[in-house]
Amino acid sequence: MSWSRNGETRSYHHGNLREALMQATLDLIGEKGVAGVTFAEAARRAGVSAAAPYRHFRDRDELLAAVAAVGFERLADALTTAWQSGRPSPAVAYERVGRAYLDFARRAPAEYVAMFESGLPAEGHEGLQQAGNRAFGVLREAAEVLVSHIPGPVRPPALMVALHTWSLAHGVASLFGRADSARRKLPMGPDELLEAAFLIYLKGLGAPSGP
């Protein structure tokens, strides 16, 4: 069997049809966006009949959900690596997590689109929901450690902090850190913008800074 990418025909080993279909989906997203993904085109690029994808996926949404779930798993791994159990300090590690989020959006733009622009309800796809929860769980764990270092009377809820900082990182990544034509132009880099936003937000919370 063979599958194609950017016009090239490549072979895949027997039993790897699922992976070939997912790669074809990422290629389609990169070229045409989520709207350009169809079951039939993914099958064509994987070098199989239009009926073959049904061996692994119920429909197009299930295929997209599988691609998005892998993206969230990879994001969770990247955030975990960046967090490093809060070393050398929670504030420094937390900022590093934000940069890892931005880096992921740049390194894996098609996966990022599948994760956040497919319009799929996570509740309807168990694997996607679990992977998304794992990625957010890393951020929430980091927020809990960070918040524990803020003086008690003004200590904010860790969940709120995690949601706020997720929104900050996601907003900067989606608007200014993209690796496609949808990226907005700025007089400063997205890394500097995110660093400044984190600094202002964490300072406002009274979180300790530096090592």
- Tell me the pLDDT tens digit for each residue of 8-30: 344 444 468 999 999 999 999 99
Q: How confident is the model at residue 180 (pLDDT cuts 50, 70, 90)?
A: low
User: For 39-63, what is the mean pLDDT?
Assistant: 92
**Does residue 124 lie in a domain region?**
yes
- Tell me the pLDDT tens digit for each residue of 129-173: 999 999 999 999 999 999 998 887 878 999 999 999 999 999 999
**Measured between alpha carbons, how far apart are the two ends of the chain, in Å?**
54
104 with 115, same domain: the answer is: yes
Secondary structure (H, E, C), the chain: CEEEECCEEEECCCCCHHHHHHHHHHHHHHHHCHHHCCHHHHHHHCCCCCCHHHHCCCCHHHHHHHHHHHHHHHHHHHHHHHHHHHCCCHHHHHHHHHHHHHHHHHHCHHHHHHHHHCCCCHHHCHHHHHHHHHHHHHHHHHHHHHHCCCCHHHCCCHHHHHHHHHHHHHHHHHHHCCCCCCCCCCCCCHHHHHHHHHHHHHHHHCCCCCC
pLDDT value at 177 more than 60:
yes
**Does residue 6 lie in a domain region?**
no
88 with 42, same domain: the answer is: no
40 with 72, same domain: the answer is: no
pLDDT of residue 9: 40
The model's pTM: 0.87
31 with 124, same domain: the answer is: no
34 with 130, same domain: the answer is: no
Q: Name the β-bridge partners of 153.
A: none
44 with 87, same domain: the answer is: no
Q: Which residue has the higher pLDDT, 2 or 114?
A: 114
162 with 93, same domain: the answer is: yes
Which tokens hold the place of 205? 């919370």
pLDDT of residue 95: 92
Q: What is the CATH number of the domain that holds 156?
A: 1.10.357.10
194 with 116, same domain: the answer is: yes
Q: Which amino acid is at 36?
A: G
**Does residue 3 lie in a domain region?**
no
76 with 151, same domain: the answer is: yes
Q: Which domain holds residue 28?
A: 14-57
Total tally of structural domains belonging to the chain: 2
